[in-house]
């Protein structure tokens, strides 16, 4: 079975459309909305294609209309784009996000999978680096072959005991210095982390048509084009939620 794993789409339709990988099953590890200009289309894509999806922190925030107070970095961008996401989503789409589970466990081809947006300890918010010492206590007692997580926007695979941690990176908004859309494919026992180019300027143009704050427009343009937030935009050494 060929499994496509996507995460952190963040309303970037052009990037999601560029992921044309053939698959038998699609899994989505959360954060469909915020930052990008077309969250409604992305939610509908996931509803149509993903067999399983878990709720990310941005999905929760948009579903509940959680206001963000942030002076810089990605917190500021969340504060600016959150109202736009809420306005773009229909009540049905927001209810879909609100009803997504924070974790999902299931079996595929005899392998046990656990999906969370962040970590099993804190499914929506904890930032998980590719560090075995970090993951070992969070996987203790979990008899799973695969742990699928997102949130960091940084793709990696990591073997921790009997569990393979797979973070597919971000489809919609890179944070590792690479602007290409990132995703993972699990084909049998082989896991591939993949990247694909997409028409970034199409996303930038759509974003500029919806975001009115000049600073946010400049920041998002930089992120979409470079795959990260240049240091000049960061304050207090933090980039905010993923």
pLDDT at 17: 98
- In sequence order, the β-bridge partners of residue 50 are 26
Tokens of 49: 């294609």
Cα gap 53→38, rounded to integer Å: 19
Tokens of 113: 């999978």
Is the predicted pLDDT of residue 126 greater than 60, yes or no? yes
pLDDT at 132: 96
pLDDT at 78: 95
Q: What is the mean pLDDT of the chain?
A: 95
- Pairing of the two strands 146-148 and 111-116: parallel
Cα gap 121→34, rounded to integer Å: 24
pLDDT at 242: 58
3-class DSSP state of 222:
helix
Is the predicted pLDDT of residue 202 greater than 70, yes or no? yes
pLDDT digits (tens, 9 = 90+) for 138-196: 999 999 999 999 999 999 999 999 999 999 999 999 999 999 999 999 999 999 999 99
Tokens of 30: 């959360």
Q: Which residues of 51-62 are buried (b: 16+ CB within 10 A; e: fewer)?
A: ebbbbbbbbbbb
Sheet with strand 103-108: strands edge to edge: 103-108, 111-116, 146-148, 163-167, 156-160
């Amino acid at each position: 079975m060929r499994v496509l794993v996507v995460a952190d789409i963040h309303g970037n339709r052009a990037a999601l459309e560029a992921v044309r990988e053939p698959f038998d099953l699609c899994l989505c590890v959360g954060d469909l909305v915020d930052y990008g200009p077309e969250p409604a289309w992305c939610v509908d894509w996931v509803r149509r294609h993903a067999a399983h999806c878990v709720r990310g922190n941005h999905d929760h925030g948009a579903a509940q209309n959680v206001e963000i107070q942030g002076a810089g970095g990605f917190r500021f961008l969340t504060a600016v784009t959150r109202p736009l996401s809420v306005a773009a989503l229909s009540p049905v789409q927001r209810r879909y996000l609100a009803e997504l589970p924070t974790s999902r466990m299931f079996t595929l081809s005899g392998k046990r999978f656990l999906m969370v947006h962040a970590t099993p300890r804190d499914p929506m918010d904890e930032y998980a680096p590719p560090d075995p010492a970090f993951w070992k206590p969070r996987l203790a007692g979990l008899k799973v072959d695969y742990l699928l997580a997102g949130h960091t926007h940084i793709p990696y695979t990591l073997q921790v005991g009997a569990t393979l941690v797979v973070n597919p990176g971000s489809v919609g908004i890179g944070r590792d210095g690479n602007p290409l859309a990132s995703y993972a494919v699990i084909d049998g026992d082989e896991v591939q982390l993949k990247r694909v180019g997409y028409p970034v300027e199409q996303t930038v143009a759509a974003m500029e048509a919806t975001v009115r704050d000049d600073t946010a427009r400049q920041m998002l343009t930089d992120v979409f084009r470079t795959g990260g937030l240049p240091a000049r935009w960061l304050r207090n050494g933090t980039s905010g939620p993923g």
